[in-house]
Amino acid sequence: MISEQPTTWYKEGVLGHLCPQARRAKRAVQIYYYNNDLDFYLTSKEEANHAPGSCHYEGAAFDFKRQGMSKMNIRTALINGGLNPNDYDIIVYSIEDGNFIHMEFDPK
Model confidence over 74-96: pLDDT tens digits? 999 999 999 999 999 999 988 77
Separation in Å, CA 106 to CA 10, 16, 21, 79: 23, 18, 10, 16
Domains annotated for the chain, with CATH where assigned, are 8-105 (3.30.70)
Is residue 48 packed enough to be buried (19+ CB in 10 Å), middle (13-18) or exposed (0-12)?
middle
Identify the pLDDT of residue 13.
Answer: 82
SS3 22: helix
Task: Provide mean pLDDT across the span 33-57.
Answer: 87
SS3 90: strand
Identify the pLDDT of residue 65.
Answer: 95
CB 101 within 8 A of CB 33: no
Question: pTM for the complete prediction?
Answer: 0.88
